[in-house]
Structure 1
């Protein structure tokens, strides 16, 4: 009998265990069975195969209780399993519920898929369940509420859908529930008000149907955090929320709430921050704010509030008061300066009047002040930097008068100064010019006088110096040439005199030099080779003399050149023909000699008028049509010869054309084409049409074929011939147009793509945006003509055998170029343009590997509805692996979606891998990078082709890519900030990143940008 007992015991262990052992207890056998159901590519569960252990308590992610009453280790029982960030996948292992004492279970940030099983309710002792950032689908099981001891439930960042089960109202001990970023529909249910134990309720970023905030939530007297951001809420804020006596954080932002802010909110005596931004709230701010002694932040921006700011609100120890883009009226109370903890005051975009409080900043460590776009008068308070912590001073578009206070010149903490469009006058304090941390100094459109002080040499971080439309006088100091980080110097419409300082040639980062309409004289700098990044040079309306320097031909990215209305003489350098200029004007000078051949075209005539000695075959120039009568006999002989030749070949040509038309009945009828140009063209539509031969096809994508057409002048252009009719594709859950191995999500009508392309590119002028020369249209076909990019697309080059051409320096240059182009779309276009299909195949490379953002067929100007809120799109556009996680189900179009896609491009360049790859399994590149970093380290992420000496720099760029691909849009940096961070990584010659303290929400000003006060 004893023999049979041991025999059957051994047999049972053998059946339950993949590695049969006599010593491992039953819970260990359960865990080994769970391991068999999970995919574990990184072998993090290798310890779960250990045959020498008595218990699984030493295994990875497993914790046990310690039974002090029994020395036998077998008495230990598994109480916690934490497999966060382990890169494991598979269905939820409900077999874990056989661990009778399991109280905590976390699979955070893995690939647990399928649906949640109904038998999860058998985990009777479970108190903590974290399944956030996985791939769960389907609806929530109603039986989940049968877990009697559950206190913490986090299902953030999955694909769960359907309505929240009514059974959730039965939870007895639930304290935290987070369902952020899922696909739940229906409305926010009122039965949450029955869970009296709740301390945190977070349902943000779900596509709920329009619905009201349930008044029953006011019953949750233990609630500390209520986050209902972007939940499609409508109606008014219920008064019952004022009963939440323990509430610390209330976030109802980005909804469609209307009506007044209820006065009951001023009874939330424990509240620290209230966020109501981006709604449609109206009326005045309620009274009673003095009750909220713990309040540090209130954000009611982007609403329709009116009336004054209550005095009692300004006396609170606020850390942040954000009330911009409302309709406040009346003066700003002087008591706002009395707040001892006030360090951020943003009130821009309102109709505030009166003077700024005289003691503003005197009693509080003020860091950020933005009261732009109001109607303030009076002088700048001298106490703004009394505590020495002021970083941003933004007061554009007001009516301030007087001088800049002298003591602001000693404010060493300042980083951004924007005082444009006021009535300020007098001389700028000398020390103010040389503040060491300022990277933006904007004084445009005031009445400042005096000279630029030589102390400007101390402004070591200055990137943007914009002082146009003032009364500055004197010569430009040599010290300006010491500003190695200067990107833009705009001093037009002043009274500067003297010659340009020689030191300007040292500004290697300079992109814009605009000094038009001054009294400058002397010769232009003879050597400008160092201006490799100069994009715009405008020295018009001055008194410059001498010749145009030959070195100007070396400025390869220059696309705007205006030297008109000066006293320049000599010949026009032939090298100007090599530049790709959108704007050229050297009219009204004293130039002479023959016009370079490329410029002898009518389209350039206005660029050269007013130069009496300049000769060329153009009307208005000395050798033009006005002197044709002097050619006499030569002209007559030439005409006779040409006429004879025409008569001789006329018949042959006529016959050939007739024959060609007969042979090719579908050939292009050139007479029916309409040409719309966006730049001065050196070719006609006939040259384009003649080049549309199948032998010239260089690519084919979702929207049409692309041809390389060689023009008669020797240059090449790229011509996109759009597909006719409607093209809709869906494949593999990602879309049907698989181009170069990358799925393209495409629901596109040809006319929409064509219109988007010409409306976007036709207006854009930027060195990092592909140039659209013109478009040709007929009833059945549409052509787009672009500049030709010698090195093709980044995607084709990076993921081909030629990827060795892309060393790290080249990749870094491509990243920065593309970032600057995208930043231009987001921040410098009005309205901002959202590309919606940023990917490596839409970044084109010229012969010097300069990058251009291309393919704007699905681009959109940032759309808003009548209330000023972003609209959703009716279709998804983008490419698999690049689509932001929130975009696929909210269809919300904003810049953050582009930033995610750009982050994927950064990861591509760092890793050399495709955004989706069979090697990743069900993951994409972003998740693969994150898990590989956690499990194997950075050396297994970086492309092995890259030189290891750049490892530190590559790691910094990698971190920027990970920031851009953050799962929450509010945590992604703006493109303007991305550019600054990238330039900072590039070395000391780039401007430094300005970082900001505090919560990164709302994302409308997380980078310190003005958002609404753009000059």
Structure 2
């Protein structure tokens, strides 16, 4: 008792000391954790995120945003996901937090390798590093025995994965390792021991061989994703024991055999995707899956009928069975009980009627049933389906009239009824289809006239109504369709004259009006269409002469045969490429085509002889004067003289402060200074007396009559008062006059007169990237040079997309439009197709309908939407990155028919090729791994789905993180020392790297 009394007296007298000591220990613990977190903060950058605002010395670590502590004020969780963080992660630092249980750093821009210090985080239960840009191998994980969640998907890791270490992680319930470039390996049997797994994501991580039957032992699995690997063999019977499965993804493998017996046991299955395999047999095993919401089995070898039970599915929203061998009818009630979003059963042998209730839920956006044997008509219910965006039922045996409501659906972008037996008129309600881009009605029995209101469907890009029974005339207002690029009306009964307004459809590329009854003169306005490549007016009743304006068209095909044309065939059209194009016109004559009579003084005689003689004399005079002028100009050109108008007739607009005049530019435009020819004009190199070098582009005038003759420097004075400015010229000036960026070519000034357009740029002596990669002018470029070109060009595009007051979409990004200065620094050039999006432009942020670009670089959305936005530029830039990495052209014979570099790379990666094998062999072996990083960025940029492509801001960020020498740094006082592949690099001041993020 005495001892207790003594202790009480001691405790009461020292209670304040004890409390102070306790508080000191707590504060020291907090201070230690806060110090670790402050060091972590110093290694990371956060763009446009306030996450680190609370991370200060004055705050307790437990008050830091994204940090959680336990009752002892020890840090147990760091959650910094989705914070736009970039930089390397030091796990030797993080793992010094003794009580740390959860690390969430997913969906950032973190990079660098993960050291073996991760194994020190032995208390970890949750590790999320997914959606980042790490590199190197995943370290051994066997010490993380408490781990319950491991997410590393799409995080940049490569090499061999430590599958054997997973055997120790018996607490794992969530495992996500997909979308990484791991070395090929068989299905890891170590996973079969993880009996607590409920989520397994191994898509796109180089697993091959068969799926083991033992997968059925993981009976808690709710999500199993093994897509985009190299798996073969049948779906194992063991999968049928996974009764809790909610999602099963097996698409894009090499699976064969039938759907296993007992698959119907998966009664909780909501999403099943085994598309793009070689699975055969019927669908009978799926008839009891009443919870199905998404069924994707396209591109297989399935046969038999679609189970009638699918018509009773109450949750079905996505249904895709295209490219199989299915037969019989679709269930009549399909979509009757659910809010179906889309159905695609194209490319089968299905028959019977189209089910009437697939839009009953009011959300159907895609009705795709092409290439089958469906019969009957289109149910009237689809005329009341305002959500429908794509209606494609071509190549069936459908008949009857199309419900009038279908023509005017407000959101529909494509109506494809080709190759059926539809009849009746095209309803005037088509004028209400404001989103309609493609109207495809060929090979049917439509009759009546083309409604006047079709010109109100202002989004139309393609009209194909060939081989029908349409008659009367083309609406005079068709010129309102400014986006129209394709017009096919052949094999109908159209008559009367072709409206002159058709020449106002400035985007027209392909016109076919053959085999109709058109009469009158051929509209001369068609010769002003700048993009027209294909023109077929054969087998009609056109009269008069061939318009002279046709001589300036860049035609690949011209057919005027079997009409009633008279007069002279222009010499510029009398070429082998147009052999047969004028047959069946007995009134035509030619000096060079032997099958026609020679033109003489009585050619085209149709009135009084006196009038003909006067006309002949007038024409002869004009020809003599023109010939004299041409000879005179050629004589002056040979003597170094350039015809220049008085300087006061020129309008010179300056975009920089300049020390030269227009006369100095004009005097230098000699043939010997010509350095290039493009689709829009000639380019001259001009060296001023002061030594300054310039590049001068003369853009062809739309109305130039000297495109095919007398084209020397005298072409600068081409005819066409008030009409000389082309769309290319206007786009170039509008884009570059205010652009100020080191990676965008400088436009010093424009020089215009009423009949000439000149643009004066800085001269870039190394030509284009295309020349340096692919032509006889190519040079050997190491990876560092290629990387700097990639990064510089990306920054130029980033400026156009995000740095200007109004967003600029280039629309023709390609290696020939990336010019290189004396130091191989890149500059984006050639903005003749550029589009500046106005702030008040309707749907400006969504897209601008246009057919523009170069094959091999054109984004795939052209094929189905005919639209382009900034993500189309990103796709094209991804192709340029692929050129830089592989050294290949965008289109090569070795790729195969209808294949480009993007599809070639995807095919290679799915076969036996490793990513590094695609790198240009001229790149040194030591730097090929760095090139692979950029190839992965290129693959990201060329995603088929535009929304999945990164912005140019993000592309710049990713390229900066892929810098060949960007490894972990050691902070020494105020300087950083970089060790790049064991080579010392000059020390950089820390101030030069801070705040350099472009994101």
The alignment partner of 1:266 has SS state of helix
After TM superposition, list the pairs within 5 Å mapping 1:872-951 onto structure 2: 874-876=917-919, 888-889=932-933, 896-898=940-942, 915=956
Q: Does 1:485 align with 2:526?
A: no
Give the CA RMSD over aligned residues.
Answer: 5.3
For 2:88 and 2:436, the matched residues in 1 are separated by 54
Matched with 2:901 is 860
Instruction: Indicate whether 1:732 and 2:784 are aligned.
Output: yes
Residue 592 (structure 2) aligned to one of 618, 622, 630: 618
> Residue 218 of structure 1 aligns to a residue in which SS?
helix
Q: Matched residues in 2 for 1:726 and 1:243: separation?
A: 58
CA–CA distance in 1 between the matches of 2:938 and 2:792?
A: 27
Alignment of structure 1 residues 365-384 onto 2, 5 Å: 365-384=339-358
Q: 1:29 to 1:48 in 2, by over 3 A?
A: farther
Give matches, 1:765-776, under 5 Å: none
Answer yes or no: is 1:826 the counterpart of 2:878: no
Native 8 Å contact 1:216 1:240 kept in 2? no
Shift of 1:609: 2.8
Aligned to 1:514: 488
Q: CA deviation at 1:614?
A: 2.5
Alpha-carbon contact 2:253-2:276 (below 8 Å) kept? yes
Q: How does 1:647-662 map to 2 (within 5 A)?
A: none
1:304 match: secondary structure: coil
Structure 1 CA distance for aligned equivalents of residues 44 and 817 of structure 2 = 53
Contact 1:605-1:618 at 8 Å conserved across structures: no
- Find the residue that maps to 2:490 and give its secondary structure: coil
Per-residue deviation at 1:191? Answer: 3.5
CA distance in 2 between counterparts of 1:566 and 1:111 reads 67
Q: Secondary structure at the match of 1:473?
A: strand
Q: Which residue of 1 aligns with 2:876?
A: 838
Aligned CA distance change for structure 1 residues 365 and 871 (closer, same or farther; 3 Å) = farther
Contact 1:109–1:134 (CA under 8 A) maintained in structure 2: no
The CA distance in 1 between the partners of 2:494 and 2:912, in whole Å, is 47
Counterpart of 1:282 in structure 2 is 256
Preserved contact between residue 366 and residue 385 of structure 1 (Cα < 8 Å): yes
Partner SS for 1:584: strand
- Structure 2 residue 479 is the aligned partner of structure 1 residue 505: yes
Change (3 A) 1:806 1:712: farther
2:112 paired residue number = 137
Give 1:212's match in structure 2, choosing from 186, 204, 210: 186
Q: Distance between the aligned counterparts of 1:770 and 1:713, measured in 2?
A: 33
Which residue number in structure 2 is paired with residue 635 of structure 1?
A: none
Query: Which aligned pairs between 1:382-531 and structure 2 lie closer than 5 A?
Result: 382-531=356-505
SS in 2 for 1:577: helix
Instruction: Structure 2 unaligned segments of length 5 or more: list them.
Output: 1-27, 604-670, 687-694, 699-706, 716-766, 797-809, 819-824, 867-871, 882-887, 893-899, 924-928, 967-997
CA distance in 2, matches of 1:515, 1:577: 24
- 2:562 corresponds to which of 588, 608, 613: 588
- The alignment's TM-score, normalised by the length of structure 2, stands at 0.64
- Asked if the contact 1:193–1:220 (Cα under 8 Å) also holds between the matched residues in 2, the reply is yes
Answer yes or no: is the 8 Å Cα contact 2:76–2:102 preserved in 1.
no
Greater Cα shift, 198-207 or 814-823: 814-823
Q: After TM superposition, give the deviation of residue 454 of structure 1 in Å.
A: 3.0
Structure-2 residue corresponding to 1:714:
711
Report deviation, 1:107. Answer: 7.1
SS of residue in 2 equivalent to 1:552: helix
Partner of residue 72, structure 1: none
Q: Shift of the alpha carbon at 1:269? A: 2.2
- TM-score, normalization: structure 1? 0.63
Structure 1 stretches lacking a partner, 5+ long: 1-21, 68-76, 80-99, 630-687, 700-705, 745-766, 773-783, 787-792, 844-853, 928-964, 967-1015
Contact kept? 2:526, 2:550, Cα under 8 Å: yes
Shift in Å at residue 248 of structure 1? 1.8
Deviation (angstroms), 1:623? 5.3
Equivalent-residue separation in structure 1 for 2:962 and 2:831 (angstroms): 19
1:852-902 alpha-carbon deviations (Å, 9 max, x no partner): xx9747852623769987976633479x9xxxx999359579975335999
SS at match of 1:576: helix
Q: Distance between the aligned counterparts of 2:236 and 2:340, measured in 1?
A: 30
Q: CA deviation at 1:595?
A: 3.2
Are 1:57 and 1:63, in contact at CA under 8 Å, matched by a contact in 2?
A: yes
Assess if the C-alpha contact under 8 Å between 1:839 and 1:905 holds in 2. no
- 2 CA distance for matches of 1:386 and 1:799? 47
**C-alpha deviation, 1:621, in angstroms:** 6.4
Q: Secondary structure at the match of 2:412?
A: coil
Which secondary structure does the structure 1 equivalent of 2:876 belong to?
coil
Is 1:572 the counterpart of 2:546? The answer is: yes
Tell me, in whole angstroms, the C-alpha distance in 1 between the residues paired with 2:64 and 2:813: 56
Q: How many residues align?
A: 750
Taking a change above 3 Å as real, the CA distance of residues 128 and 390 of structure 1, as seen in their structure-2 partners, is same
Match of 1:261 in 2: 235
SS of alignment partner, residue 277 of structure 1: coil
- Residue 118 (structure 1) shift: 4.0
Residue 306 of structure 1 is matched in structure 2 by 280
Cα distance in 2 for partners of 1:875, 1:535 equals 36
d(CA) in 2 for partners of 1:289, 1:605: 63
For residues 344-363 of structure 1, the aligned pairs below 5 Å read 344-363=318-337
Q: Is the 8 A contact 2:496 2:518 kept in 1?
A: yes
Cα contact 2:814–2:876 (8 A) shared by 1: no
Seen in structure 2, the aligned counterparts of structure 1 residues 605 and 330 have a Cα distance that, compared at 3 Å, is closer
Aligned mate of 1:151, from 125, 134, 157? 125
